[in-house]
Amino acid sequence: MTTVPYKDVTIGNLKFTNPERIDNSYICNLYDNDDKLLYIQTPILNVNDIVLSDDNNYIDINTNNKHFIDFLLDMDENCIKCTYNNSESWFKKEIPYDAVENMYSEKDIYEENKNYQLKLELPVIDNKLQCNVFNENKEIIDIDEIKNKNIVMIIHFKGLRILKNSFYLDLYVNQIKVVNTDKYNILDKYSIIDDQSYMDNNIDENIFSQEISEVLLDKEKKLTIEQKISKLKEELNKLNN
C-alpha cells in the first residue's frame, strides 16, 4: 500500500476499470497513474463525533481547509465526467450528461462560517471496526478516545459504486492517527528552580567587563594613531616652510 498526500493527487490521471458485478451492485475500481490502489492522506481534521450502529458507521469531522474540500468536490466532478465519457462502453448506451449528474450522489458537505463538516464511512464487519486508530505515539487506541481531537486519516478511494438508479464514489477510512497541534509545550506543574543565585537583584560588577576593556583599548589605539598622524603633519609643514 502506498499513501499519497491529497495535494499530490492529479485527479485527471486517475483511471476507472470497467464495471464488475458484486452482489447487487457494480464497482468500477479506481487506480492511480501507476495502476495502484488509491490511498489518500488527509490534512489535519477535527472530530465531531463517532457513530457505530446497525444502520450507520461513520466519523463526523470538521475542517476550515477549503483546499481539501475542493479536492473532494473535484473528485466528485471527475466521477461524473468519467461516467458520462464511458457511458456507451460501460452501459451500452449513451447517457445525457444531465442524467448522469442527477444520478450521482455527492458527499454531504455542510459549510458554516467558512468551516466545513462532513461524514466519512468507517469500515465495520460483524459489529467490529476494521480500521486501526493510533495515538501520537503510534499506539493503537479505542476510537472513542479521538472525539473532539485533531487527527489525520488515510482514506481508500475504492471506485464507483453503481446501483440501479444511482451511483457514488465509494470510499472509507483506512487508518486514523491523533495529532498534537499545540504550538507550545507548557509545563503543568511548578518547575522553576528556586536557587538564590537566580534571585539576586545586585548586578554583577564584572558584567560586560571584557567588552568594555576591548572598546577602551580600541579607542586608545585610535588616539595613538591620530596623534602620530598629527605629529607627522606638523613636521611636514616645518619642512615646507
Quick check: is 202 in a domain? no
Domain residues for the domain of 57 are: 3-178
Beta bridge pairs of residue 47: 61
Quick check: is 140 in a domain? yes
Quick check: is 186 in a domain? no
Cα distance between residue 91 and residue 76, in whole Å: 20
Quick check: is 192 in a domain? no
Quick check: is 155 in a domain? yes
Cα distance between residue 241 and residue 232, in whole Å: 14
Cα distance between residue 231 and residue 241, in whole Å: 16
Quick check: is 189 in a domain? no
8 Å CB contact between 61 and 46: yes
What pLDDT score does 200 carry?
A: 55
CATH code (residue 157): 2.40.50
In the structure, how many helices (H) and strands (E) does the chain have?
Answer: 5, 14
What pLDDT score does 178 carry?
A: 95
* Number of folded domains that form the chain: 1
Please give the full DSSP string across 82-141, using - where no structure is assigned. HHHHTHHHHHSS---HHHHHHHB----EEEETTEEEEEEEPPEETTEE-SEEE-TTS-B-
Q: Burial, 160: exposed, middle or buried (Cβ in 10 Å; 0-12, 13-18, 19+)?
A: buried
Residue positions counted in the chain? 241
What pLDDT score does 149 carry?
A: 95
Tell how far CA 134 is from the center of its chain: 16
Quick check: is 65 in a domain? yes
Q: Could you give the C-alpha distances from 178 to 146, 154, 225, in angstroms and in order? A: 7, 12, 69
Quick check: is 171 in a domain? yes
What pLDDT score does 91 carry?
A: 92
**pLDDT tens by residue, 31-50:** 998 899 999 999 999 999 99
What pLDDT score does 16 carry?
A: 97
What pLDDT score does 59 carry?
A: 97
- Residues of the chain with pLDDT below 50 are 208
